[in-house]
């Protein structure tokens, strides 16, 4: 339960709202307690028509007895002497207290749920912000569905625990305590017997809660797998259909869904047992109380009406405490998502330097850099040294898996070298501020990121202060303006999720427009023109060629793209095999010559 309480402390940030909610719960409970106490004089007047007294006579007798309570004489004089009027007054008082208690209870629930919702929103925001700052290799290794499940599903489970803790439990406990206090006032001996069962209830509920926590952890993990599988299959629906793999996908979903059901049913017995156990114990307690009361009533030591009032107050207390079993279940189930949330928040974010980094205008240097993915047998990049002058266009080619993308991912520090240094104008980027580094770098990948929103929003993503003119200029430079302006709403046309309403080439041109809008000093193109037609590719190449104040690093399988670069870096098995112009490489590099024959020319043709 410790993870749950650790996060629950966040509600203390809004102390005013928390204190107000608690006070309102106590006001509601106080109204209940006063209403129960008022039943005593009412019953005495009704059950004893000959010896009973009116409210005024009762108050005078109470003052004459000199007990703990003293009723002011002014109030005594206002009380009705007639017994019927006294009962009527008490009923009116109970009505007023009921309205007051209901209002206080409504406000308590309103503030409690508001506080729980706002706190969960804070947790969700912090969790999302933290995931954004995690190392890319960590997120890629774990899978995006895992973090999505924790941000959405786990916080929802935690919110149910918060509402149970602050809303339901406080209201029920305060009412139960108020009724218990009234029962003590009427007859403390009966209450002592009733409270003897409390340790038994505590031990029982603790064992049930432990079983529920275990089932909740397994259920969340299974639901995460189900979310991942469903997301992958639906996102890749085109491949599922063209592969006639609907049946396979359905069977895989059924297996994952069965695991969810299995773990959910693990909590079934514990949840189903809690209420019957509470009810059974309550029957035994009431039976014991009845025996005790019968003996006291027969011996004349306990007036019958006080027995009724005490048992009635205990019944109200029991009814208030009864839902606590389900509330404990909710809080116990929320402990598992709380632990999963804290696990993510405890992961180390990518390191950030403190040294300012000026805009690149000199040399980009990689000095003996190597990188190995966690758990990999061999490094993806091995002892690479490379120097690129500002404004130079350099292509990186090589067989699949040769480390091209990994190498260029070291420049914006998406990956951190396991050894070696990456320097911009002589400054190690490991010491530089990430914002200073990445604001001057633009990256376009083979699978561009396109979000649901307007075309203008997609192009301006990351540049919130971009003007309409800037957006249009970037679209024109990337050869995207033609198809954008042909749409009914132009730049305000809404794109479907993942850009599903656009062709592959259109998505890539939008991504290139976004990159050019940033006015980067370093532009990285990772197969950025692989899905555009030859005419668009030529236009884009012309636009990139005209960017003179920018270093361009290109990973390409198209010969025309490679030929646009002044130098070509050839990689194989993570190492640089050669680096020269196209003509020089053809003359001396057998690997490059083979790539021209097998990959570059084949794709171009």
Structure tokens at 529: 């023109």
Residue with tokens 């397994």: 218
Nearest C-alpha neighbor of 309 from the set 40, 582, 5:
40
The pLDDT value given to residue 605: 38
The pLDDT value given to residue 406: 93
Q: How far apart are CA 374 and CA 141, in angstroms?
A: 9
Q: What angle do CA 215, 218, 219 make, to 5 degrees?
A: 80
Structure tokens at 433: 């501020």
Q: How far apart are CA 343 and CA 150, in angstroms?
A: 10
Q: How far apart are CA 160 and CA 329, in angstroms?
A: 10
The pLDDT value given to residue 262: 78
Buried/exposed 362-401: b ≥16 CB within 10 Å, e otherwise:
eebbbbebbbbeeeeeebbbbebebebebebbbbbbbbee
Nearest C-alpha neighbor of 353 from the set 462, 428, 410:
428
Q: How far apart are CA 53 and CA 51, in angstroms?
A: 7
Q: For residue 355, what are the contacts with CB-CB under 8 A and spacing of at least 6?
A: 427, 431, 432, 433
The pLDDT value given to residue 229: 75
* Residue 199 host element (H or E): helix 198-235
Cβ pair 439, 360 in contact under 8 A: no
Residue with tokens 């005013």: 16
Nearest C-alpha neighbor of 443 from the set 481, 409, 478, 480:
409
The pLDDT value given to residue 559: 78
Q: How far apart are CA 558 and CA 541, in angstroms?
A: 12
Domains of the chain by start residue, with CATH? 2-345 (1.20.1560.10), 359-440+522-533+552-605 (3.40.50.300), 444-519 (3.40.50.300)
What are 384's strand-pairing partners?
369
Structure tokens at 428: 């190690």
Q: Report CA-CA distances (Å) from 540 to 71, 297, 460, 528, 532.
A: 92, 99, 19, 10, 10
371 three-state secondary structure: strand
Residues of the chain short of pLDDT 50, as ranges, are 601-605
The 10s digit of each residue's pLDDT in 157-206 is 888 888 888 877 777 777 777 776 776 676 666 656 656 666 666 666 66
Phi, psi of 228 (to 5 degrees): -60, -50
Structure tokens at 34: 């006063």
Count other Cβ atoms within 10 Å, centred on residue 47: 13
Q: For residue 315, what are the contacts with CB-CB under 8 A and spacing of at least 6?
A: none
The pLDDT value given to residue 321: 66
């Amino acid at each position: 339960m410790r993870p749950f309480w650790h996060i629950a402390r966040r509600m203390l940030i809004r102390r005013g709202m928390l204190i107000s909610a608690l006070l309102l719960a106590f006001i509601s409970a106080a109204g209940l307690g006063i209403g129960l106490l008022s039943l005593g004089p009412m019953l005495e007047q009704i059950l004893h028509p000959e010896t009973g007294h009116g409210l005024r006579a009762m108050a005078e007798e109470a003052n004459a007895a000199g007990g703990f309570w003293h009723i002011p004489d002014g109030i005594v004089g206002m009380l009705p002497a007639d017994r019927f009027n006294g009962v009527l007054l008490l009923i009116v008082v109970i009505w007023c207290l009921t309205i007051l208690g209901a209002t206080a209870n409504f406000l308590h629930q309103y503030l409690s749920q508001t506080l729980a919702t706002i706190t969960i929103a804070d947790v969700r925001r912090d969790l999302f912000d933290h995931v954004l700052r995690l190392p890319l290799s960590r997120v890629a290794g774990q899978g995006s569905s895992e973090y999505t499940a924790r941000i959405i599903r786990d916080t929802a489970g935690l919110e149910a625990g918060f509402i149970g803790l602050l809303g339901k439990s406080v209201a029920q406990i305060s009412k139960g305590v108020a009724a218990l206090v009234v029962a003590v006032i009427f007859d403390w001996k009966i209450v002592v017997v009733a409270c003897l069962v409390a340790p038994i209830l505590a031990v029982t509920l603790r064992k049930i809660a432990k079983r529920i926590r275990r089932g909740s952890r397994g259920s969340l993990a299974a639901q995460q797998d189900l979310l991942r599988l469903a997301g992958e299959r639906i996102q890749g629906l085109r491949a599922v259909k063209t592969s006639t793999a609907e049946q396979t996908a359905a069977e895989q979903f059924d297996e994952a869904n069965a695991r969810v059901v299995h773990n959910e049913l693990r909590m079934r017995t514990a949840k189903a047992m809690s209420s019957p156990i509470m009810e059974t114990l309550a029957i035994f307690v009431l039976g014991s109380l009845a025996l005790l009361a019968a003996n006291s009533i027969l011996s004349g030591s306990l007036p019958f009406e006080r027995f009724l009032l005490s048992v009635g107050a205990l019944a109200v207390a029991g009814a208030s405490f009864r839902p606590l079993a389900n509330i404990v279940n909710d809080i116990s189930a929320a402990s598992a998502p709380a632990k999963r949330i804290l696990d993510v928040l405890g992961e180390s974010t990518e390191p950030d330097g403190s040294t300012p980094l000026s805009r690149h205008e000199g040399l980009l240097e990689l000095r003996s850099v190597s990188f190995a993915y966690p758990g990999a047998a061999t490094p993806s990049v091995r002892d690479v040294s490379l120097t690129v002058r500002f404004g130079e266009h350099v292509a990186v080619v090589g067989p699949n898996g040769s480390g091209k993308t990994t190498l260029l991912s070291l420049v914006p520090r998406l990956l951190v070298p396991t050894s070696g240094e990456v320097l911009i104008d002589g400054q190690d980027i490991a010491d530089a501020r990430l914002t200073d580094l990445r604001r001057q770098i633009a990256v376009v990948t083979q699978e561009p990121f396109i979000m649901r929103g307007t075309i203008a929003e997609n192009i301006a993503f990351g540049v919130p202060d971009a003007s309409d003119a800037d957006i249009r200029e970037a679209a024109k430079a990337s050869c995207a303006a033609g198809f954008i302006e042909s749409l009914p709403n132009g730049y305000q046309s809404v794109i479907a999720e993942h850009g599903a309403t656009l062709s592959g080439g259109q998505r890539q041109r939008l991504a290139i427009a976004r990159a050019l809008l940033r006015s980067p000093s370093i532009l990285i193109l990772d197969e950025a023109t692989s899905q555009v037609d030859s005419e668009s590719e030529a236009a884009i190449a012309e636009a990139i060629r005209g960017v003179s104040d920018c270093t361009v690093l290109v990973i390409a399988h198209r010969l025309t793209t490679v030929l646009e670069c002044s130098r070509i870096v050839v990689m194989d098995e993570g190492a640089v095999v050669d680096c020269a112009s196209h003509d020089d490489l053809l003359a001396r590099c057998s690997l490059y010559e083979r790539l021209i024959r097998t990959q570059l020319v084949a794709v171009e043709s």
